[in-house]
Amino acid sequence: MNKLSQWTKNFKERLNGWSKKKKIAYGAIIIGILAALIYLGISLNTTKYGVLFSSMDNNDMGAVYNKLKEKKVDCKVEGNSILVPEDQVDSLRVEVLSEVPITNGSQGFELLDKSKFGSTDAEMKINYQRALQGELERTIKSFPEVENARVHLVMPEDSVFVKDSTPATASVTLKLKPYKKLTEDQVKAMVALVSGSVRNLPKENVEINDTNGSLTKDLFNKDNLDMTGAAEKQQALKTEYEKNLENKALNMLEAVYGKDKVKVKVNADLNFDAVEKDSVTYDPKNTVVSEKNVKDTNKDAGNSASGSPVDDAMGNKIAKNPDGSVTTHEEATKNYEISKSQDKTIKAPGAVERLTVSVVLDGALDNATKASVNNTVASAVGYKQNRGDTISVEGIPFDTTAKDNINKDLEQMKNEEAAQKRKKLYTILGIVGGLAVAALAAYLIIRKRREDEEEEEEILPKNIDTVIDDNTPVEDQTKFKPIELDVENEKTHTEKEIKKYATEKPEQVAEVVKSWLAEDER
C-alpha cells in the first residue's frame, strides 16, 4: 500500500511538471488506445453472418431452418434468406443440400417416389403431369430475371386413331423480379423448353404470360417476325454507324476543346434495299457486218469439150452452154459476230445516301474557328458534297445547371457521410473519454480519501496518545497531585491544544473517541 501511494505521489508530481501540450498528447494517446481496445473487443465478440440460401420458398426455408437447429448451428432468418456464421457457409451448404431436398416451391419427379402400390392409371397420369409441371417450373425459375413461375399442362387422351389425336397445350405464368424484363430469345427458349418436354405439344400451343400480358403474342407469325427482326437489325446498324462517326469526330475535337465541351450528332440515311442489276455492253469498234458478193462471167470455149455444170461448196457454179461458151457464177457471203459484255451486279444493302452532322461547341466561335472545325469534322466522317452531305457548326454556351446541381448534391452527400463518420467517431471517443475521466476521477477521489485517513491517523491520534496514556490510572493522578493552574509546562500546553482542537473540531474528536471505544470492545 505504501509503495502504491508513493508511486501515485511521484506520478502526480511528474504529471504536474508536464506542459499542457504534453498532457493533451498523452491523453489523446491513452484515449485512442482505450478506444481501439474497446472496438477490438466488440468486433471479436460479434459474429459475422453470411447468406446460406436466399429467395427461398417458405416450405424449403422451414425445412432448412429445422435441419440447422438439429445440428445446433447458430442461424437467423432475414426475409426469405437464411444466414449462418460466415466461416461455415460453404460446409453447411453442402451438408444441407445433401440432406434436405430444396424444391423451391415446386415438386418434380420425386412425386412418383410417393406413389402407392395399387394406384390406378388415372392417378399415375395425374402424378406424372404434376411432376412434369414441377420440373418445368424449377427450370424456368433458374432464369435470373424470374422470381416465380407456374406451369399448367393440358394432356389430351390418347387415341388409337392418328386423325383423332389432339395436341397438348401449355400455359406458363411468370412473376419477374423488379425492373427485370425477358428478351425475345429468352421467351423463345422457354417455349422450346416446354414444347420439347411435353409429347405432342407444338410451339404455337405454348402461352407465356407475365404481369404485363402475353409474351408469345405474334411470336410465331413468321412474316411479322421476319419484318420486325429485319427492321430492328437495320435500326441497330444505323445506330452503330452513327455512333461510330460521332466518336471519331468527338475524339478529335475533345483533344482540342476538352471533355464535355463538345457535342456531336450524326444522322445517316442508309439505303437497305438490295439491288440486282444486269447490264449488256456492246463494243462499238466491231459493228454488225453482213456482206454478199455475186459474180457472173461468160466465156467462149472454142473447141472445149462439153460437160455438166460443176457446183462446189462455196456456191460457185460453172456451166457449159450448147454453143460452147462457159458461164461462171460466183457468190460469196460474209457474216461478222457482234462483241458484247454482260454484267450482273448485286448491290449490298446499307449504302450511305446522305450524312447530316451537327456540332455544338461551348462558347462563342468566330468564322475562322468554325471553318477549322468544319474541315476537321468533314475529314473524320467522310464528307461528300456530291452526295448531299451537310455539316453544321455552332458555338453556344452550355447550360451546366443540372451538372452543378449534381456535383453539389454529391458534395453534400460526401459531407453528410463525413459528418456521420465524425459524429460516430466523436461519440465513441466521448464514451471512451467519459469512461476514462470517470475512472480517473474515481481513482483520485479514493486516493484523496486514503491520504486524508492516513494524515488523521498519523497526526491527531499520535498527539492524543502521547498525552492520555491508557495504562496510567487517572484517579491516582487527580487524587495525590493538586491542580496547579498557574503552572505552564509541556503537558499543560498539550492539554490546552487538545481542548482547543476539540472545541474547533468536535466531530473529528468524537470519531477518534468512537474508534478507541471500538478497539476496547474488541
Q: Quick one: cell of 418?
A: 463525413
Q: Give the whole-angstrom CA distance, residue 200 versus residue 168.
A: 6
Q: Give the whole-angstrom CA distance, residue 13 versus residue 5.
A: 12
State how far the alpha carbon of 148 is from the alpha carbons of 55, 73, 285, 522, in Å: 10, 29, 79, 86
**What's the whole-number average pLDDT of the chain?**
75
What CATH topology corresponds to 109-224?
GMP Synthetase; Chain A, domain 3 (3.30.300)
* Residue 470: partners with Cβ closer than 8 Å, 6 or more residues away: none
Same fold, 109-224 and 228-291+333-398: yes
DSSP E strands in 390-429: the ranges are: 390-395
Task: Quote the pLDDT of residue 325.
Answer: 66
State how far the alpha carbon of 37 is from the alpha carbons of 47, 48, 422, 424, 438, in Å: 18, 19, 19, 17, 17
Cβ(150)–Cβ(186) below 8 Å: no
Instruction: State the Cα angle at 111 between 128 and 134, rounded to 5°.
Output: 70
DSSP E strands in 409-488: the ranges are: none
Instruction: State the Cα angle at 74 between 72 and 80, rounded to 5°.
Output: 115
- Of 278, 279, 285, 277, the closest CA to residue 339 belongs to 285
pTM above 0.75, yes or no: no
How are beta strands 213-214 and 317-320 bridged, if at all?
unpaired
Q: Give the whole-angstrom CA distance, residue 74 versus residue 70.
A: 11
More confident residue, 21 or 241: 241
pLDDT confidence tier of residue 193, bands split at 50, 70 and 90: very high
Work out the percent of the chain whose per-residue pLDDT is above 70. 72
421-442: pLDDT as tens digits: 888 888 777 777 777 777 777 7
- Span between the terminal Cα atoms of the chain, in Å: 25
Q: Quick one: cell of 404?
A: 452543378
If you search the block for the grid coordinates 434495299, which residue do you land on?
A: 273
Cβ(80)–Cβ(65) below 8 Å: no
Q: DSSP assignment of 282-315, as one string?
A: E-TTS---EEEEEEEEEEE-TTPPP---EE-TTS
Query: CATH code for 228-291+333-398?
Result: 3.30.300
463-512: pLDDT as tens digits: 444 444 444 444 444 444 555 555 566 667 777 777 777 777 777 777 77
Task: Quote the pLDDT of residue 281.
Answer: 72
Domain boundaries, the chain: 1-44, 49-99, 109-224, 228-291+333-398
